Amino acid sequence: MSSKKELRIGMVGYGFMGRTHSNGYRRVGNFFPELEYQPVLKAICGRNLERTQAFADQWGYESVETDWRKLIARDDIDAIDICTPNNMHAEIAIAAAEAGKMVLCEKPLARTVAEAQPMVDAIEKAGVPNTVYFNYRRLPSVTLAKQLIDAGKLGKIFHYRANFLQDWTISPELPQGGEGLWRLDNDAAGSGVTGDLLAHCIDTAMWLNGGIKDVSAMTETFIKERVHTGTGEKQEVTIDDACMFHCHFDNGSLGLFESTRYARGHKALYTFEINGEHASIKWNLHDLSRLEYFDHRDESQERGWRSIHVTDGDHPYMDKWWVPGLSIGYEHSFVHQISDFLKALQEGKPCSPTFREAQETQKVCEAVLESAKTKSWKDTGVNW
């Protein structure tokens, strides 16, 4: 392993995403041995020293920081990985870019288009390698969908529909704000399900089916007040608990999107379906090793939705793992994104989605929220 180039990682944030990214960095070398770069977990940064140290011990980070500005200032760090709540993405990313660091940022890029724009500008001005963790693209089943579409198997697309359904905020007793619950706090998150869940759906959709032109949306906040963990007081809830919209894609197909945290019985049910002239595709995150595929060109008596178990050696990424029939899981999407980032690095190419692409997703999110607020159609201004 001594012949490998080191990519020295400095990570900010050690929550849920801190774990998924750390795991990605630690696993990638075992399964993608051909890569020239080997990530090294140089430093983890968090405000609480004790907990940051515990995380460092658990994951093998060489050092800890409690001030992200110091982390960025260090010479022995090549890349900054941002796993903080959304409201800190911009400041950290801009500072990192200005310091010449590569930046890998958790999604969504920012809380608003306005907040994201200087991030994109700074990244592009600095010319540093960058990516945003819309990790679901890198599940083998989703990548296979992309390959089938790009190979023209579906023909002209008529419909794209996606849902992201959860049920974890139904109880009115759940507070907003604070660790693990900042996603319910509009100041920290920027929005509710739109930025947290629909952003994933929108990224996948535009990757698979091209730009979204205009949208008509509706949002709802079912629980109007929750105790805020910070203040201990009941406060108005200002995030969107649920959001749904229909839209036109640039290619003339129709989109239908929905997300909620009030769909009892669904934990993280991200689903999408694409209907084309010749074939259709269905997918869901709860059964992530499967892709459902219908091909109208099959002999008519034998046509049916095919349940493809995406675990063969010729399926995307799967030659790196086990043998046919043996599934991988959610976390592998991060290993794959990091592998793709390292490969892009050695080839001198961008790793999609870049900050610029993530900004386009941000534009759709914002148009959606604006449409819901004004009860009118909104152009997204997306340039995909």
Residues 77-106 that bind a second copy (CB under 8 A): none
Kindly state whether residue 250 participates in binding a second copy, applying the rule CB under 8 A.
no
Residue 243 CB coordination number (10 Å) = 27
Number of residues that bind a second copy (CB under 8 A): 98
Kindly state whether residue 173 participates in binding a second copy, applying the rule CB under 8 A.
no
**CB closer to a second copy out of 127 and 323:** 323
Kindly state whether residue 280 participates in binding a second copy, applying the rule CB under 8 A.
yes
Smallest separation (angstroms) from a second copy to the CB of 233: 25
Strands 37-45 and 5-12: parallel
Q: What is the arrangement of strands in the sheet containing 378-379, beginning at the earlier edge strand?
A: 290-295, 279-284, 269-276, 157-165, 254-260, 242-249, 212-220, 378-379
* Token pair listed for 21: 């990214």
Smallest separation (angstroms) from a second copy to the CB of 31: 8
* SS3 state at 16: helix
**CB closer to a second copy out of 100 and 152:** 152
Smallest separation (angstroms) from a second copy to the CB of 114: 26
Kindly state whether residue 375 participates in binding a second copy, applying the rule CB under 8 A.
yes
Only one of the segments 114-122, 124-132, 198-206, 212-220 lies at the binding site for a second copy (rule: CB under 8 A); that segment is: 212-220
Strands 102-106 and 269-276: unpaired
Angle, nearest 10°, between helix axes 49-59 and 16-31? Answer: 20
Kindly state whether residue 269 participates in binding a second copy, applying the rule CB under 8 A.
yes
Could you say which DSSP state residue 182 is in?
A: G
Binding residue (CB under 8 A) for a second copy from 150, 312, 319, 379: 312
* Token pair listed for 57: 């011990």
Smallest separation (angstroms) from a second copy to the CB of 246: 5
**CB closer to a second copy out of 291 and 367:** 291
What single string gives the DSSP state of each residue in 334-359? HHHHHHHHHHHHHHT---SSPHHHHH
Binding residue (CB under 8 A) for a second copy from 306, 346, 349, 379: 306
Kindly state whether residue 321 participates in binding a second copy, applying the rule CB under 8 A.
yes
**How far is the C-alpha of 177 from the C-alpha of 192, rounded, in Å?**
12
Smallest separation (angstroms) from a second copy to the CB of 319: 12
**CB closer to a second copy out of 130 and 271:** 271
Smallest separation (angstroms) from a second copy to the CB of 127: 33
Please check whether residue 229 is in contact with residue 223, taking contact to mean a CB–CB distance below 8 angstroms. Answer: no
Interaction mask 122-151, a second copy, x per CB under 8 A: ----------------------x--xx---
Kindly state whether residue 341 participates in binding a second copy, applying the rule CB under 8 A.
no
What single string gives the DSSP state of each residue in 226-293? EEBTTTSSEEE--S-SEEEEEEEETTS-EEEEEEES--TT-SSEEEEEEEESSEEEEEEGGGTTEEEE
Binding residue (CB under 8 A) for a second copy from 76, 236, 322, 373: 322
**How far is the C-alpha of 139 from the C-alpha of 121, rounded, in Å?**
29
**How far is the C-alpha of 290 from the C-alpha of 142, rounded, in Å?**
9
Smallest separation (angstroms) from a second copy to the CB of 11: 14
Site for a second copy in 51-80 (CB under 8 A): 54, 57-60
Binding residue (CB under 8 A) for a second copy from 266, 336, 356, 363: 266
Smallest separation (angstroms) from a second copy to the CB of 58: 4
**CB closer to a second copy out of 17 and 97:** 17
Contacts of residue 1, Cβ cutoff 8 Å, sequence gap at least 6: 29, 38
Smallest separation (angstroms) from a second copy to the CB of 240: 11
**CB closer to a second copy out of 31 and 350:** 31
**CB closer to a second copy out of 63 and 327:** 327
Smallest separation (angstroms) from a second copy to the CB of 73: 27
Query: Nearest to residue 211, comparing CAs of 160, 174, 177?
Result: 160
**CB closer to a second copy out of 58 and 66:** 58
**How far is the C-alpha of 78 from the C-alpha of 60, rounded, in Å?**
17
- State the distance between the two ends of the chain, measured CA to CA, in whole angstroms: 39
